[in-house]
Each structure stands twice: as C-alpha cells, then as structure tokens.
Structure 1
C-alpha cells in the first residue's frame, strides 16, 4: 500500500480555507483508491502528539499553544520532525516554512511542494515577513523534489527559479453547485438576484475598498453584501471601507457555515472578485462552480481562471461603469452565468484535479 503524508495545513476535516479543503478532498480520494494517507493536524490544546482516524484518513494531532503565525511555525516544525521517521511520499502545501523541509532532503525523503501564491508580494506583509517568505520560496524551489504550481502564471514565475521540467501545473478544484437553500438568505434580509456579493478577506490587495466605493457612488436599488471579519475599531482599513459604504452595502460579518455561503453565492446577481495577487483562487473557482456571473479585477491570475465568463475592471471608474451597465442587462447576465459553468466543467472539477494529482504522486512515489 502506498503511503502519503500531507503537511502544511491545519488539518482535516476542512474548517479554515482552500488548502484544508484540498487536503480533505485529496486524502479522501486517495483513500478510496487504496492509498494510506496521513494528514498532520494543528491542535490548540496542550498535551502530547496523538493520533486518530477520520473516514479512513490517519490524523496526527500536533498540539501548539501559540496562536497566529508563531503557532503555525511551531506546528510546521513539530510536524516536520515527526514526519522524518515515516516512510512513503510527502506532500507539503505551501512554502512558508520551507526551511524545515531541508530535513526531508537530508533524510532523502521524496517531498513534493505545492508552491501556492507569491506570498512575498502581498501588500499586507511588512518587510520582515516579506523577506521571510522570499527566502523560503527560494529554499522551497531548491529542496522540493518536484514543485506544483496552481496557475500558469505561478509556473512562469517558478521557472525563473528552477528548470521547467521540475514544475507541474495543477489548479485547485471546486464543487458544482446546482441548487442551494434559499431560506438561508432570510437571516440577512436578502432576496435572490437582488444583491451582489464579495467573499474575501478585507485586505487592500483584494480591492474591497475600490469595489465598495464604485458601488456606493450612486443609488443602485440593489444591495452589495461584503462578507468578512470587519473590525473598524481596531483596523484603519476596515474603518475606511465601512465609511465609504452607502446604505445599500451590507456587512454581515465573517460567515463560515457552508449552507449559508453556498446560498449567498448561488443566488447572487454578481460575484465580485477583487484579488490582485495569487494563483488560482479557490473562492473564484467555487463561484464558477455555482454558475455565478463574475466581475473581477483585471489581471492574469483572474483572467485565466474565469476566462470569458468574467468581465473585468482596472479602476474604480471601470467598476462603477460595469455596475451601471450590468445591473439592468439580463442578456449579458445569462451569458456570463452560462460561461461560468462551462469554464468550471472545462478545467476545475475535483474529478479532474484529483486524478491529475494521483498521476503525479504515482510518478514520484519512492521505490527501493
């Protein structure tokens, strides 16, 4: 039986973000295909390392007392140390602590690294954090036996570090959503197609302020729902966004309940995606899978994912013009929604993505 060890996520089942969802999907898929899969899971409680089984997946629970970035570093360190005594193939999701993967290399472990986005380019990080990420990206490129890029643009970036044949491009996948629970909207005072939605961390690089300003420039007779953990008393940027919002902008907070998020996507008129940095964004893929009409920031990352399904803006003025035109254009709305499903089925179904991963993992499985 082939054994795979997945490092770099908070664990399964998924409760946090894209990497955790991917780890859950991949581990369950491989278990169904006869693999033995171990996922390292970060735990907040104290005590020693323990193990459990979930849906056939072996989970190694690593207790970490620290929170935030410090806790993640400690978790990655402890996970790496534990994994060195294991035999099989290793998959590390993200390069943020790639310096620890030097130990895998020194022990002749075969480790594939998903290099995620270009983290050191993100506006939210200070000089120290950006330097740390830049160094670890370089180390990851060197120590990984093979690299996985989640977007053609990320692959091109990595080709400036390593040779082309060391990189395989496999994007993230998503679920196709053909229906959702409309009653989930009532808690937020929303009706189908009478609102548009932003689902993103409230950070400058995600164009949240620009979208809110452009929407709020005139009365729309339409609502804009902005999901996210806004703390205006603590974060100046959050305060700036909320002050720029008209009375038609709704801030329901961070919503993690899958049923509610699924409904908010499925029944929206437009899904707004302002991300300027990154690779294949899981939330954008999920919007395509839900058949959303997508309005996105105009960059190579978003254009490859959404392709003809999206319409794009470069500035607040561009975004405002799109709202002016598209809020009353039913024909274009239908075209965009059909194109979203077509693009999703073309490239982003889990069946495609997970099969591509299994082929790659099979290729690199160590033989003795």
Structure 2
C-alpha cells in the first residue's frame, strides 16, 4: 500500500501526541513493507527528505508568522500535494483545520480520520471557535470513509452523537527497561523525592487544580511542572504559584530524560480531561510511574483500578501527603503489563495495517 499521513507537524516528534503517533506508525508500516509519506511543516527541525524509510514531504506552513490561520494553509497545501501522490490510503490526524477541505481530498484514496479528542470542549477556545470546531468535527464524520477512535470514550461519543461507527485503536508505548539515574542531577533531584506532571500548560489539563493542591499541602519535596511555560496561561501559573517547591522546568523532548523523570518520581499527576487516550499517560505507565489521574472516563478506561483519581485540589493535597510509591508495587506491575499486552506499538501498527487492508479490499 501507498499511505499518506496528514494533519501533524511532522516527524520525528518534536511537539506532541499526534507527532509521536505518526512517527511510530509510519516507521512500523514501512518495516511491514508499505510506502509511507508523512507531511511535515517546512519549519520542522528535521529537514531531511526521509526518516527511517518514511518519505518526508515538507509543506509551507505560515503558522509561526500569521498564527492559527497558518494551520489551515498548511493543511490545504498538504491535501493539494496528496492529489498528486497516488495514495491508496490517507490517514487524517484530527479535524480542527483540515476537514473544511474534505471536498479537495483525492477521490481515489480511502480517507480515514483519527478523530482525536473533544477539541471543541477545550476551555481555551472562545464560544465562536468551539462552535466552528463542532462543525469541523461533523465534517470529519460525514466525509471520511472510515473513523478511528483512540479511546472507548470517543468511540461511544461518536456513536451517540452521530450514530457513526468507528474502529477503536489506542496509542502505544514501549516499556522502559533502563533509566539514566544520572539525569536526575541535571534537575537537582533525588530518587522518589519529588512529584511531577508533564503536560501542555492549558486550562483543561487541570494544572491549576493540581498546583493548588500541592501549594496547600504540607509536603516539602519538589514538584516538577514539565511543559512549555512561555505562554499567557503559563505566565499566569508562574505568577500565582511562586512557591519554592514548585519548579517550572519547561518542555523536555529528550525521551530518555522524560522516562527517567517519570520513573523516579514519587507521584505522577495526569490532569488531561478532554482528549482520548493520551500518549503521555501510556508513557507514564510504561515508565513505572505511580499515577494520580483526573477522574474521567478517558483516563479510567486505561488505568482501571491501578491509579488514584482526583477531582479537586483537596484530593491532590490528600494524595500528595499520604501516598508513597514503595507501597503500590502492584499498581506499577499491572500498568506495565497493560503496555506489554495491549498498548504496545507492534500491536497498534498491526491493527492499523489490518484495517487499511480491509478497507482497501472493500473499496
């Protein structure tokens, strides 16, 4: 098969969940013998034309100059290029700025859309933008040949709201076998003597709630906030929480360092609330982190009984003051087993390949 991936900023991953997913899926499909093209923003740090056998097509992306409108330009130009590529399959990652151009996709390719999370419900968006995103979501459902849901919660939502069938395929992760304990020195940390979170600093990730709970606690160990904080909300959080225990360390893209931070933390807080299966949650499980997650179905369907759940800052305070990682080895072992048996990248790649083949055969 000749397969195109549209809708991410590009590979290798320097940004987030979809990019991480695109990297592992595209490389896996190439290893399975398929031709794969990933569309990259022309501003992406990786400027080569190939990555581990995956063809990279660099497309003009003016987002850094004109803001959000640049995403629409980038997606339109990517779709325009796809019309010349003779793809069998096009996998569209998300719908926020691409489904308005659904009419422009090549008609000879099977168009599959990974519907991501409930983007329209993100509190950072105005009512007008939220309404547009609901419209874009409906276009993705209407014009795609097939839908993929990365969580059971999203699958249920698509069925109940649109009556739309979808295939559930989650993200994957690799179990971390080795940790670089020396990396802790870079952050002036000691094993199991700190708590942390990793997230984009956005309201719907409940970072403010988590930090309120930490600030109100009697716990004296450091709390790491890993994520880009040079944003308006990041500045707000830094201004509100001028607490010496709370350290805003910025974004970290080195996976070995991230795995080490997660693996040697005491408690790992996961506040995401509006997405599907969040990749960073699986990576935390794979890194042997003891997880305290926001209490919602997207998180609970993955973690099940092997985590703690918070819905208020008081919950955060209680957990921070009472939980020690050494007491919950069963939680850790169960979550690692889930990665090894369910959320493993070879399984995910195989599921996509099987789906693509089936849809192409029935075309």
User: What TM-score, normalized by structure 2, do the two folds share?
Assistant: 0.92
In structure 2, relative to structure 1, the CA distance for the partners of 1:209 and 1:349 (3 Å cut) is same
| 2: CA distance, partners of 1:61 / 1:110 | 22
Q: Which residue of 2 aligns with 1:254?
A: 251
Instruction: Please give the per-residue CA displacement for 1:1-36, whole angstroms capped at 9, x wherever unaligned.
Output: x11111111122222111111111111111111111
Q: Which residue of 1 aligns with 2:147?
A: 147
Question: 1:178 deviation in Å?
Answer: 1.7
CA RMSD after TM alignment: 2.0
Q: Which residue of 1 aligns with 2:274?
A: 277
Q: Which residue of 2 aligns with 1:330?
A: 326
Q: Which residue of 2 aligns with 1:127?
A: 127
Q: Which residue of 2 aligns with 1:343?
A: 338
| 2: CA distance, partners of 1:289 / 1:330 | 17
Q: Which residue of 2 aligns with 1:191?
A: 190
| 2: CA distance, partners of 1:90 / 1:144 | 10
| 2: CA distance, partners of 1:322 / 1:66 | 41
Answer whether contact 2:62 2:71 (CA < 8 A) is retained: no
Tell me, yes or no, if structure 1 residue 111 matches structure 2 residue 111.
Answer: yes
User: What is the aligned residue count?
Assistant: 357
What's the secondary structure of 2:105's corresponding residue?
A: helix
> Structure 1: any 5+ residue segments left out of the alignment?
none
In structure 2, relative to structure 1, the CA distance for the partners of 1:308 and 1:86 (3 Å cut) is same
| 2: CA distance, partners of 1:240 / 1:8 | 30
Q: Which residue of 1 aligns with 2:284?
A: 287
In structure 2, relative to structure 1, the CA distance for the partners of 1:145 and 1:161 (3 Å cut) is farther
Q: Which residue of 2 aligns with 1:215?
A: 214
Q: Which residue of 2 aligns with 1:22?
A: 21
User: What TM-score, normalized by structure 1, do the two folds share?
Assistant: 0.91
| 2: CA distance, partners of 1:51 / 1:258 | 21
| 2: CA distance, partners of 1:70 / 1:205 | 22
| 2: CA distance, partners of 1:363 / 1:162 | 23
Instruction: Please give the per-residue CA displacement for 1:36-60, whole angstroms capped at 9, x wherever unaligned.
Output: 1111111039xxxx99222221111
Question: 1:289 deviation in Å?
Answer: 0.8
1:31-50 paired onto structure 2 within 5 Å: 31-44=30-43
Answer whether contact 2:201 2:233 (CA < 8 A) is retained: no
| 2: CA distance, partners of 1:366 / 1:82 | 25
Answer whether contact 1:269 1:293 (CA < 8 A) is retained: yes
What's the secondary structure of 1:60's corresponding residue?
A: strand
Tell me, yes or no, if structure 1 residue 296 matches structure 2 residue 293.
Answer: yes
| 1: CA distance, partners of 2:237 / 2:43 | 33
Question: 1:291 deviation in Å?
Answer: 1.3
Question: 1:108 deviation in Å?
Answer: 4.4
2:305 to 308, 324, 329: 308
| 2: CA distance, partners of 1:40 / 1:230 | 27
| 1: CA distance, partners of 2:307 / 2:78 | 40
> Structure 2: any 5+ residue segments left out of the alignment?
none
Question: 1:336 deviation in Å?
Answer: 2.3
